[in-house]
């Protein structure tokens, strides 16, 4: 049987970690991205737009095969990417019905055109946008500044190159 000793240093480290986590939660709770305005949510209100990527760089920074992890999610990959969208750039129409994602807007401002919102949705630096089943959309950088997005998604098909 092992014996553990709690020292004042261990307590300070634990309190510091708890403070960091609490501070992170406090600052991110208001950082949810722009949402569809009240009364503007409607299913299939915006038709699919057939565009190609314009001025977008999509770099996969890392991925994990989830079947080989304790979660044991067969045929799924957790992927983390960086998208850079130049002024006037377009992230083409895509669906999240089979690929949930979280988007963090690190720099700039970008406009989302969602299938279930009659109005465009503006996303600003520091915001997080959840993308779940029922979300189909495209994005455009209407500003003069390059937009940087960090994207974590769970994809099924490793050959799926949707942004």
Which residues of the chain fall below pLDDT 50?
1-7, 10, 14-30
Query: What residues contact 153, with CB distance under 8 A and at least 6 apart?
Result: 78, 79, 81, 99, 100, 101, 102, 131
Cβ atoms of 70 and 54 within 8 Å: the answer is no
As a whole number of angstroms, the distance between CA 67 and CA 77 comes to 8
As a whole number of angstroms, the distance between CA 88 and CA 82 comes to 18
pLDDT at 53: 95
The sign one gets for the Cα dihedral 61, 149, 84, 95 is positive
Query: What residues contact 82, with CB distance under 8 A and at least 6 apart?
Result: 57, 58, 59, 61, 148, 149, 150, 151
pLDDT at 135: 86
pTM: 0.76
pLDDT at 57: 97
């Amino acid at each position: 049987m092992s014996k553990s000793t709690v020292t004042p240093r261990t307590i300070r480290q634990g309190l510091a970690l708890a403070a960091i986590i609490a501070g992170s939660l406090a600052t991110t709770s208001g950082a949810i991205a722009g949402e569809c305005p009240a009364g503007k949510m409607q299913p299939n209100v915006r038709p699919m737009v057939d565009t190609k990527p314009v001025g977008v760089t999509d770099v996969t920074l890392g991925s994990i095969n989830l079947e080989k992890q304790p979660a044991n999610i067969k045929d799924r990959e957790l992927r983390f990417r960086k998208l850079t969208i130049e002024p006037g750039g377009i992230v083409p129409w895509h669906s999240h019905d089979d690929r949930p994602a979280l988007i963090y807007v690190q720099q700039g401002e970008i406009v989302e055109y969602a299938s279930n919102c009659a109005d465009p949705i503006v996303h600003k630096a520091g915001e997080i946008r959840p993308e779940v089943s029922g979300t189909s959309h495209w994005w455009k950088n209407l500003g003069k500044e390059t937009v940087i997005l960090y994207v974590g998604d769970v994809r099924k098909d490793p050959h799926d190159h949707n942004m």
